[in-house]
Amino acid sequence: MTRPPSDPPRVRLRDITLADADMLDAWDGERSAYNDFGLPHDPTDREALARGPLRTERNGQLMVELVADGRPIGTVGWHREMYGPNPESSAFNFGIELIPEARGQGYGTEAQALLVDYLFATTDVHRVEASTDVSNLAEQRSLEKAGLRREGVTRGAQFRAGAYHDLVVFALLRDDRDG
């Protein structure tokens, strides 16, 4: 396992609970431009949260919180991406959103490194990936610092704010870590 960029870690990931629902709804109204797709802000699904953690075989979401005082500072989420019809050809694609006051302090890098560790430790996927807008230099740097490798540009893949945007793809393979 790769060590998180900060040792000891300053952030940790935990399951989201029903008690987080109001806070998530408030955060949803303040999404960064990179995570705002102009879709309606549906309230957090409290029935799903009451049933248990937001984690399935196909996707999931975890809270990012500060180790020092337990303060929640954002979320990470992932979904399965299929590169072929067989289970071996699936990867996990993840994303992150920190609240504005928590950005620029290295927490995002730590959280993403922890999520990569978590996904490799709890599933058998061979590939974990993330894409971000070519203009999102903070996320590109953060993904690099979290240990992912830059692979290339997916042109015109994402429609946001009235235009198509190019994305930079980053990934880490299980083999990259074992080698």
Torsion over CA: 37, 41, 42, 45 (sign): positive
Spell out, one character per residue from 3 to 42, where the chain touches ligand COA: x when CB under 6 A holds, - when not. Answer: -----------------------------x-xx-------
Nearer to ligand COA, 127 or 165 (CB): 165
Nearer to ligand COA, 12 or 103 (CB): 103
Residue 38: CB atoms within 10 A of its CB come to: 8
SS3 assignment, position 71:
coil
d(CA 64, CA 142): 15
For the record, the structure tokens of 63 come out as 């809270």
> Which residue from 67, 137, 153, 161 is in contact with ligand COA, where contact means CB under 6 A?
137
DSSP annotation of 55 reads B
Nearer to ligand COA, 34 or 120 (CB): 34
Q: Which of 94, 73, 92, 67 is nearest to 82 (CA)?
A: 92
Asked if the bond preceding 5 is cis, omega within 30° of 0, the reply is no
Quick check: 103 binds ligand COA (CB under 6 A)? Answer: yes
Applying CB under 6 A, the span of 38-46, 78-86, 106-114, 147-155 interacting with ligand COA comes to 106-114
SS3 assignment, position 163:
strand
Quick check: 65 binds ligand COA (CB under 6 A)? Answer: no
CB-based closest residue to ligand COA: 108
- Least distance CB 88 / ligand COA (angstroms): 26
Quick check: 105 binds ligand COA (CB under 6 A)? Answer: yes
Nearer to ligand COA, 125 or 146 (CB): 146
